[in-house]
Amino acid sequence: MKNIALVSIFLLMLLTDIHASVQPQKNFDLQRFAGRWYRVGLAYDSPGFVRYRSRLTISMGTVEPKENGNVNMTMWSVSSSGCYSKVYIYKKTSVPGVFTYYSTRHRRVKDVTVVETNYTEYALVLKHKKFNKEFTQVALYGRTKKLRADVMEKFRAYATAQGFPKDSILTPPAADFLENCPPSGS
């Protein structure tokens, strides 16, 4: 019984330390982060995602802060059947730049951390499920569909440092008619 308790305490300390090492953007400002973003890079090594890698294109999203500190993130993507959108509700936490949301696909709550942004050009975002590497993603968002080479390299280096193999770090092509996706007034 004592050994089980010691192992449990050790695992809790180890896993808490891993999560604590993910730090959000210092002095994160949600209002400056609001607006249109393009997902121009994605690191994701889930075995179920492998078959979709070749179909991935740049997607577009809008970050809309709410008065209560939560965020509506509307993402538009293009498929062979046209344009589609999905709204994610990111709930604020006590830490600025860190949110949670419920993944209907994985049926669990995930953390979303804005790791680094300069607000006007790019953002590195880590999406993860505490204690479960399988559901970790690193995304690179840009205010435009094309970012400087040094920003792209920063994304690749960060994803590699998080343990992603090089073949899981993707920079998808732009979708042909993505700009026509959002409804009027978005």
**Mean pLDDT value of segment 91-103:** 94
Question: For 29-86, how does the pLDDT look when each residue is reduced to its tens digit (9 = 90+)?
Answer: 999 999 999 999 999 887 777 777 777 888 899 999 999 999 999 998 877 777 888 8
∠ CA 126-129-134, nearest 5°, is 90
pLDDT band of 186, cuts 50, 70, 90: very low
pLDDT at 31: 97
Question: For 82-96, how does the pLDDT look when each residue is reduced to its tens digit (9 = 90+)?
Answer: 788 889 999 999 999
Question: For 8-38, how does the pLDDT look when each residue is reduced to its tens digit (9 = 90+)?
Answer: 344 334 333 344 578 999 999 999 999 999 9
**Integer Cα distance of 22 and 174 in angstroms:** 29
End-to-end CA distance of the chain: 58
73: its two tokens: 């993130």
Give the residue among 154, 141, 139, 157 at the shortest CA–CA distance from 43: 139
**pTM of the predicted structure, to 2 decimals:** 0.81
**Integer Cα distance of 170 and 163 in angstroms:** 14
Q: Identify whether the C-beta of residue 25 lies closer than 8 Å to the C-beta of residue 117.
A: yes
